[in-house]
Structure 1
Amino acid sequence: MDSLAKVCLPKAYGVLGFRNGQVWNYAILAKYMWAISVKHDLLWVKWINTIYLKGSDFWSYRLPPDTSWYWRKLCKLRGKFSWEDIKAASLSGKFQSYILYNSTLSQQQVGYYKEVWCRLSLPKHRFLLWQVFNAQLLTCDNLLRFRVPLESLLCPVCGSFDESHSHLFFDCTLSK
């Protein structure tokens, strides 16, 4: 998993929960596509239907070269989402951008996210537990990957084996 994917997925996927700005922006702009497609009772939608669409369907509309940059940008979004994606993101007549955003993700959810991101624990404990589940703690083996010079690689608890994530949590005498 690359560094962007480790940050830009929901917490249910085992990562930090920030959104990918570009994909999130597309999902928000899709709300305009939804409003035009369902012919929402708004003045700007009526204006778009009168000036640009002229009674035709938004999804089959052919874009002429002399249109405004914003309308061109909105029409180009048709290549990113289908009408079925847009319909699936509208619940009870209201468009939900987060549903469309989450539908673009192709990762598997993890089972431990509720324990890690529990609201009853402190934020620093949540982050530390997230690091434990993802083997990201700064143990000796991880520090060596960053070329940090160390005096000893031995576990500070038992002193018998090299300190690593698996040793610290599963094999060390203190963790047994």
Structure 2
Amino acid sequence: GLSPEKVNSICQQVGDVQVAILNTPRQIIVSGIGSSVRRAMELSLKEGALDAYILPIATSYHSRFMKQSGIRFLREIKDINLRDPRIPLISYLSLDRIPNKKELKNVMANQLSGPVLWVDLIKKLSNSNTRLFLEVGSGEVISRAVRWIDRNIEIANTATKVKLLKAIESYRRLRNSK
């Protein structure tokens, strides 16, 4: 895989495409106009990328092309009554804690057009003494991505009933060790 810096350089060279998600140190998703994404893929392969392919998504998520959608989304959710977060929420855009419901709405809207700093988020959580990561859902994609970033992180997921029971046990063990 190519470094994030190299992929960013290719995106700048091509134009109308940008780094959208840093999934792992060497798995980078770009987003933008279709022809520009294809050109960035070609250049990435020429520069030594191991693989490059088009993801089957409907639009250019996590890119500047979604800015207006974020503004419309914020207008739509402005009257929804949220509560201030009771557990710490960290933005994958800024890596900062989301302190209140107003900021939460802004972060939710900005997520449409901002890059996902997944690698930096996982490193920050790991360095802040987060001891258990829980993947909720039917797959294990996030668990695998976290392991590529830090093999020492304990990860539990809910992909199957057996794994859900193991996740509950991991949480109980962690809670009881405090």
TM-score by length of 1: 0.23
**Bigger fraction of residues in helix:** 1
**Bigger fraction of residues in strand:** 2
TM-score by length of 2: 0.23
